[in-house]
Amino acid sequence: MKRDGAAALLRKELEHREDVRFGRLVGKRRPVRAATVSLVLLAGIMAAAVLAWSLVHARALELARARIAATNTVLTLANQANSSFNVADTVLVSLVDKIEVEGWSELNVDRLRTLMAKQMEHLPALQGLFVYDETGRWIATSAGRSYEGRNNADRTYFQYHKHARDRGVHIGSPIVGRTSGVWVVPVSRRIEHPDGRFAGVALATIKIDFYRSIYSSLELGPGGQVMMTLNDGSLLLRSPFDARELGSNIASTPSFFLQAKHDFATRTVEAVIDGKTHILSHARIGAYPVGITLLQDQKAVLAGWRHSAMFACLALLLLIAGLLLLGRRVVRQLDVREQLEGELLSTKAHLETANTALSTMAYIDGLTDLFNRRYYELALQREVGRASRNGTPFAVLMLDIDYFKHYNDRYGHQAGDAALVAVAQAIQRGLRRSGDLAARYGGEEFVVILPDTDLAGAREVAETIRVSVQARALPHADSPLGVVTVSIGMHATIPHDAEDGANVVGQADAALYRAKTAGRNCAAT
């Protein structure tokens, strides 16, 4: 094996190993880093998506719940209003019937008054019951007090019944009662003579406070309101309560004309009433021209949801911030680890290179670049062992430069060194097989081990080297041949043990002596 080739291969192998190791580690870390960043981003996006979905879902649920609650409330209020009007109307129907059957002339007013007072005891919604004749004069009331000289012909409901031949119930705008002084809703019916002429009016008044106490107990939220209206737009009651608007007509306001034509409906109304979005729920009382409307500000309805959403968003932001910090920390740690491992690998590679260099130096002769004597000793042992095991021959050449002392003396030590290098190169190039090995034995002496070679083969190699050295024609004025030459002693054998190996060297050395005595520049056995 050629030393140069081995060193080059060794160096390449080291570089390759370093590249592979470093490349593998770096290659592994990059995906880990990318995966960490992706994981953090994915977790953040997923959390945001889940939160967004649940917030949208919760908002829809909240609105649906509010719509259902509004519908239920409006229907309940409509039922309650229907009952109160129904009660008042039932009483009126019986009063009108009694008066029309008995006729004014036969009518026992005292008994009528007692009857009215009794009915009042069981009807808490009513403020009072009244009967007027065709001139508006008070005939009987449930209050039972003196009403001499009183006349209600000026009231709207009286004028209505006087002029309209409508036998149905009439519900009027709220008025302040003349006996009670409180706000009431007038419910009235027309009384007729047997021939159909107008005979008077029966009136029941329902206390506004009866509705007001119920409406004001409702939780409508900021901006929420509930109102009872007649179909012509007259406002019977609105909560929050304001006495000044009782009886006013709101037919032209959006909250009235937005009411559905159906008996009841609940819907979302955007930016029509006051620029805000409202939930509007409306129900009509089937038998009477009255409707209940509930209006809620959607923003107020969603206040609870908004608070929860804010907290959830805040929590999400904290979570994302935490994830980012964690991700940043992991990536930084990966960077630090990567740097440290890089430094470690680089240091290790340097150490290995230095080790190789040291090992090389330990076995290589610094001047000639051939193996040194220490390596030669090891190689000799190895080859003797192998040859004795295989029963194959091996040969040893001992080489010595002729008249080298004179050369040094004439040309100087440096020139002597150069001659040593030139001879070493000639020896190295004279070797044919990869197993052949040349070493500097010491001073101007060299040794060559030729495994699996007999004496004939050894002679060929020896001659090749000798001729090659001479052919270099290094001038040597103090040599009879005029150029630098070498003498070679050689010996070949099939060794049986280590002693045989040592003997081969001794035999080669003796052959060298013979070559010297034979006149030098020759190979001897």
Ligand X SMILES: Nc1nc2c(ncn2[C@@H]2O[C@H](COP(=O)(O)OP(=O)(O)OP(=O)(O)O)[C@@H](O)[C@H]2O)c(=O)[nH]1
Let me know how many helices (H) and strands (E) the chain has, helices first. Answer: 12, 16
CB 199 within 8 A of CB 222: no
When the beta carbons of 157 and 411 are compared against ligand X, the nearer one is 411
Catalytic residue chosen out of the listed positions 444, 460, 463, 499: 444
CB of residue 344 vs ligand X: minimum separation in angstroms?
42
CB 408 within 8 A of CB 481: no
State phi, psi for 518 to the nearest 5 degrees. Answer: -75, 0
The rounded distance, in Å, linking the Cα atoms of 163 and 469 is: 154
Q: Which residues pair with 170 in a beta bridge?
A: 188
CB of residue 1 vs ligand X: minimum separation in angstroms?
25
Spatial CA neighbour of 376 closest among 462, 507, 505, 511 = 505
CB of residue 420 vs ligand X: minimum separation in angstroms?
6
When the beta carbons of 224 and 489 are compared against ligand X, the nearer one is 489
Residue 56, both tokens = 């949208």
When the beta carbons of 146 and 414 are compared against ligand X, the nearer one is 414
Which are the contacts of 154, defined by CB distance < 8 A and separation ≥ 6? 136
When the beta carbons of 57 and 406 are compared against ligand X, the nearer one is 406
Ramachandran area for residue 521 (φ above 0: left; ψ -120 to 50: alpha; else beta): left
When the beta carbons of 103 and 519 are compared against ligand X, the nearer one is 519
Residue 136, both tokens = 């508006």
CB of residue 479 vs ligand X: minimum separation in angstroms?
8
Binding site for ligand X (CB under 6 A): 400-406, 408, 413, 416-417, 420, 443-444, 516, 520
Spatial CA neighbour of 292 closest among 280, 278, 282, 277 = 282
CB of residue 499 vs ligand X: minimum separation in angstroms?
28
CB of residue 482 vs ligand X: minimum separation in angstroms?
15
Residue of minimal CB distance from ligand X?
Answer: 416
When the beta carbons of 500 and 509 are compared against ligand X, the nearer one is 509
When the beta carbons of 50 and 518 are compared against ligand X, the nearer one is 518
Sheet of 445-451, strand order: 437-442, 445-451, 394-401, 486-493, 523-524
CB of residue 504 vs ligand X: minimum separation in angstroms?
21
Residue 113, both tokens = 């008054």
The rounded distance, in Å, linking the Cα atoms of 131 and 210 is: 22
Indicate the pairing of strand 183-192 with strand 198-207.
antiparallel
Sequence-ordered alpha helix ranges (H) in 107-242: 109-121, 156-163, 208-215
Which are the contacts of 407, defined by CB distance < 8 A and separation ≥ 6? 401, 415, 416, 419, 476, 478, 479, 484
Distance from the Cα of residue 359 to its chain's centroid = 56
The rounded distance, in Å, linking the Cα atoms of 371 and 483 is: 26
CB 205 within 8 A of CB 236: no
When the beta carbons of 246 and 515 are compared against ligand X, the nearer one is 515
Residue 511, both tokens = 């052959």
CB of residue 368 vs ligand X: minimum separation in angstroms?
9
The rounded distance, in Å, linking the Cα atoms of 25 and 343 is: 12
The rounded distance, in Å, linking the Cα atoms of 184 and 155 is: 13
When the beta carbons of 140 and 397 are compared against ligand X, the nearer one is 397
When the beta carbons of 28 and 405 are compared against ligand X, the nearer one is 405
CB of residue 521 vs ligand X: minimum separation in angstroms?
10
Residue 149, both tokens = 């000289």
CB of residue 371 vs ligand X: minimum separation in angstroms?
16
Residue 111's alpha-carbon distances to 87, 104, 376, in angstroms, are: 21, 13, 152
Instruction: Please tell me whether the peptide bond between 495 and the residue prior to it is cis, using omega within 30 degrees of 0.
Output: no
The rounded distance, in Å, linking the Cα atoms of 211 and 77 is: 9
Note if 121 is an active site residue. no
The rounded distance, in Å, linking the Cα atoms of 191 and 437 is: 146
The burial class, CB within 10 Å (0-12 / 13-18 / 19+), for 400 is: buried
Which residues are annotated as catalytic? 444
